[in-house]
Amino acid sequence: MIIWNFADLALLHRLKLHKVLVKSLSFSYNDLYLASLGGEDDKRLVIWEVTTGKGLCGNSAGVDRVNQVRFYNNSDNQLVTVRNQGANIWKVDYVNKKILPTEVNLGSLKRQLTNVIIDSTDTMAYACTKTGDILEINLDKAIFKRVGPVKKLFSQGVTCIAMLLNGDILVGCGDGTIAKIANKTMGIKAQTKVLGGVTSITLTGDGTYFFAGTSLCNIYWCDAENLSPELRNTCHYEPINHVIFPFNYSDVFATCSVNDIRVWNSRDRQELLRIQVPNVECHTISFMRDGKSIVSGWSDGQIRAFLPQSGKLLYVINNAHVHGATALATTSDSSR
C-alpha cells in the first residue's frame, strides 16, 4: 500500500505487511488511521497510523474470504467487515493494541456479502449480496434486521452501493441495473439500465448527482432523483489492436478491439462512432485513401468494409484468411 500526499502527489509511506493481495482499504473519519484487509492468502485486518505509517495492531479477519472493510462515520475505533458467509463488527483498543471482533447474527440467512455502507448515525449498515439483495444490519445489537428490496432480486448480484443524504440507497448490479431503494420501506423508487455491469457509484458532495462506472469501460453521469444516465466517457474494455488516422487528416482516428471498431474525435477525445460485430475480434483497420470507407480484418477470416460516418456495412470478403486477417494495407488510388 502507498499513502500519497494528494496536494503535491508525493509518496508519504509505503506499507508492506499483507501477503499477495490487499483487498480493501478504509480511512477513519478523522484521517488518523487506515484499515487494510488482506486477500484470500492473508485474511488479516490491520490498523495503521497515517502520520507515521506504522502498523498498530492486527487480527485474523475470518476463515473464509473477506471482501471489504469500512470505518464508522463518527468513530475511529469501530469498523465493519463483510465476507462470503457473514459480517463482523470490530472495536479497536489502541492502548492495548488489540482488535476485538463481534460476529453479526444473521440467523438462518445464508448470503455472500461483497460490499457494505454505514448510515450517517452509525446505527445501521447495508451489505450487498451476490444473491441480488441487500441486508440491513443493526450495528448496536450486531443483528440482521431485514432484507430488501421487497419481493425482488437483482440479476447477477448487487456489485456496489452508496447512500443518499436522505437515507435512500443506490445500488449497482451485475446486469447493468442502477436502482434507488427507499430506506423506510426497502421498496424500489426508481431504476435504470446501463451498458455493462456496474462496478462503482460515486456521489457528488451534495448528493444530487453521481458517476457510475461499468465493466465495459463506460462512465455515466446520473441524476440521483430520476436516475437518468448520460454517457460521459467510454473506451475499449479489451486490448486495442490497432490505431489509425485517415490520410492527411488528424481530427479523427479509429481503433479496433474485441467486438467493435470505434472512431474518435482527437481534439475532445469523445467517441463519434461505434461499429459492432458480436463474438469476433477486429485485428487491423485502415481508412481508404479517399476517406469513403473503413476496411478491417477480423478473427473469423473475413474482411469487412464500413461507411465512416454511419458505420453501415459496405461489403464483406468471406474466407479471406483461414486463421483470421491480422494486417492489411490500401492502395493510394483507393481501388484495392
Last residue of a domain, one of 178, 200, 234: 234
Split at pLDDT 50, 70, 90, the class of 318 is very high
Handedness of CA 326, 331, 334, 336 (dihedral sign): negative
Q: What percent of the chain has pLDDT over 90?
A: 87
Last residue of a domain, one of 234, 261, 282: 234
Query: Residue 333 domain-assigned?
Result: no
Q: What is the pLDDT of residues 42-89, one digit of tens each?
A: 889 999 999 999 999 999 887 888 899 999 999 999 999 999 888 999
- Whether 247 and 222 map to the same domain: the answer is no
- Contact in structure between 199 and 213 (CB atoms under 8 Å): yes
Mind listing the pLDDT tens digit for each residue in 117-165?
999 999 999 999 999 999 999 999 999 999 988 888 999 999 999 999 9
CATH classification at residue 259: 2.40.10.480
65 shares its domain with 150: yes
Q: Which among 218, 234, 250 is the end of a domain?
A: 234
Strands 44-49 and 55-60: antiparallel
Is residue 325 domain-resident? no
123 and 178: one domain?
yes
Q: What is the mean pLDDT of residues 13-35?
A: 94
Residue 323 in domain = no
Query: 263 lies in which domain range?
Result: 242-317
Shared domain for 179 and 257, answered yes or no, is no
Based on the fold, state whether residues 247 and 155 are members of the same structural domain.
no
Between the alpha carbon of residue 109 and those of residues 72, 86, 186, 242, the distances in Å are: 24, 9, 18, 50
User: For residue 45, which phi and psi values (nearest 5 degrees)?
Assistant: -105, 125
> 214 and 252: one domain?
no
Cell numbers placing 41: 492468502
Query: What whole-number distance in Å separates Cα of residue 80 and Cα of residue 70?
Result: 5
pLDDT of residue 336: 92
Output the average pLDDT for the chain.
93
Residues 213 and 289 placed together within one structural domain of the fold: no
Whether 269 contacts 251, CB under 8 Å: no
With H, G, I as helix, E, B as strand and everything else as coil, classify residue 279. strand
- Check whether residue 220 and residue 255 sit in a common domain: no
pLDDT for the residue 210: 96
Cell of 30: 478523522
Grid coordinates representing 183? 430506506
CATH of residue 50: 2.130.10.10
Same domain, 155 and 122: yes
Residues 227-270: pLDDT tens digits? 999 999 999 999 999 999 999 999 999 999 999 999 999 999 89
Examine residue 328 and state whether it is found in any structural domain, yes or no: no
324 part of a folded domain: no
Question: Are residue 119 and residue 260 in the same domain, yes or no?
Answer: no
Give whole-number Cα distances, 322 to 221, 298, 301, 325, 326, in Å.
44, 11, 6, 8, 11
Confidence of residue 298 (pLDDT cuts 50, 70, 90): very high
Residues 207 and 306 in one domain: no
Q: CA dihedral defined by 210, 188, 165, 134, rounded to 10 degrees?
A: -90
Our count of domains for the chain comes to 2
Q: Which residues pair with 51 in a beta bridge?
A: none
Which triple of cell numbers denotes residue 80? 465493519
Distance of CA 80 to the CA centre of its chain: 21
Q: Within 10 Å of residue 105's Cβ, how many Cβ atoms?
A: 14
pLDDT at residue 61, rounded to an integer: 86
267 and 133: one domain? no
Residue 215 has pLDDT above 90, yes or no: yes
